[in-house]
């Protein structure tokens, strides 16, 4: 199911023009992007990173959350997707948004981050564990990571949809429907929470980077 990083880059370079239409056709629930950004808990002046920012549909929301004194960073492996994000920034005159092309696993933000967002991107990255670890390294203690994405609904419905999901993803946005990002986030963070939408076919989850002395929610504190 997992594709190699170069194949993913080429796929997104090709679908850059169609990506936002594809997302709309996949019934992304109304208000889910807003909820994801809200769950990062950003304050004016904060620094935030979107990993796999694509054509930039979240950049305006992130910018509103950090205000003119904050900064939004975006990284994406696809030049084709970033062309649209850059045009959006230019059109809106956003000076405090910096976009970089490259693999998120190698991205280094120029300053410590207060929050990070994976929006429809985590399970397109075959090395998502490495990307998550790198993101956590760059977050200040207490800073939040939010993951928002589609998933299989639970039970029988999910098992019925799985073959169609795999067929569709292979032809469009790629990714691996068997990946369970919420489990990865819960095991690496504190303060974990998750909300599902549209009968469990979309979710948003969040967790905070442990401060000194905290253990991630997934750790057993023992007797």
Ligand X SMILES: C[S@@+](CC[C@H](N)C(=O)[O-])C[C@H]1O[C@@H](n2cnc3c(N)ncnc32)[C@H](O)[C@@H]1O
Residue numbers at the binding site for ligand X (CB under 6 A): 5, 8, 12, 23, 52-54, 57-58, 75-78, 81, 103-104, 119-121, 124-125, 173
Q: Between residues 26 and 193, which has the closer beta carbon with respect to ligand X?
A: 26
For residue 22, give the 3-state DSSP assignment. helix
Nearer to ligand X, 5 or 194 (CB): 5
Is the CB of residue 20 less than 8 Å from the CB of residue 57?
yes
Q: Would you give the end-to-end CA distance of the chain in angstroms?
A: 40
The residue nearest ligand X at its CB is 54
Give min distance, CB of 143 to ligand X, in A: 19
Give the residue with the Cβ less far from ligand X, 115 or 210. Answer: 115
- Closer residue to ligand X in complex, CB, 53/190: 53
Residue 62 near residue 117 (C-beta atoms within 8 A)? yes
Give the span between the Cα atoms of 139 and 62, in whole angstroms.
16
Q: What distance in Å separates the CA atoms of residue 85 and residue 91, rounded to the nearest whole number? A: 10
CB of 39 to ligand X, least distance (A): 14
CB of residue 120 to ligand X, shortest distance in Å: 4
Q: Which is nearer to ligand X, 13 or 191 (CB)?
A: 13
Closest to 200 in 3D by CA, of 57, 34, 40, 29 = 29
- Asked whether the beta carbons of 12 and 80 are under 8 A apart, the reply is yes
**Considering the complex, what minimum distance in angstroms separates the CB of residue 22 from ligand X?**
8
Residue among 106 and 219 whose Cβ is closer to ligand X = 106
Q: In angstroms, give the least distance from the CB of 9 to ligand X.
A: 6
For the chain, the C-alpha Rg in angstroms (whole number) is 17
Between CA 7 and CA 11 the distance in angstroms is 6
In DSSP terms, 73 is beta-bridged to 49, 98
Min CB(188)–ligand X separation in Å: 18
């Amino acid at each position: 199911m997992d594709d190699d990083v170069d194949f993913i880059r080429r796929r997104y370079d090709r679908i850059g023009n169609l990506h936002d239409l594809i997302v709309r056709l996949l019934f992304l629930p109304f208000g889910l992007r807003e909820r994801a950004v809200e769950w990062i808990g950003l304050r004016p002046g904060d620094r935030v990173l979107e990993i796999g920012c694509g054509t930039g549909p979240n950049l305006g929301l992130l910018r509103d959350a950090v205000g003119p004194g904050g900064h939004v960073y975006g990284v994406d492996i696809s030049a084709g997707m970033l062309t649209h994000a850059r045009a959006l920034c230019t059109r809106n005159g956003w000076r405090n948004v910096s976009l970089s092309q490259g693999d998120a696993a190698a991205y280094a933000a120029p300053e410590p981050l207060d929050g990070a967002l994976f929006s429809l991107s985590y399970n397109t990255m075959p090395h998502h564990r490495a990307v998550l670890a790198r993101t956590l390294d760059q977050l200040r203690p207490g800073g939040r990571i939010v993951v928002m994405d589609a998933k299989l609904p639970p039970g029988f419905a999910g098992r019925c949809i799985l073959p169609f999901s795999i067929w569709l993803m292979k032809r469009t946005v790629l990714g691996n429907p068997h990946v369970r990002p919420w489990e990865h986030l819960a095991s690496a963070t504190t303060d974990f929470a998750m909300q599902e939408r549209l009968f469990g076919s979309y979710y948003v989850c969040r967790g905070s980077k442990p401060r000194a002395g905290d253990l991630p929610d997934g750790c057993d504190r023992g007797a």
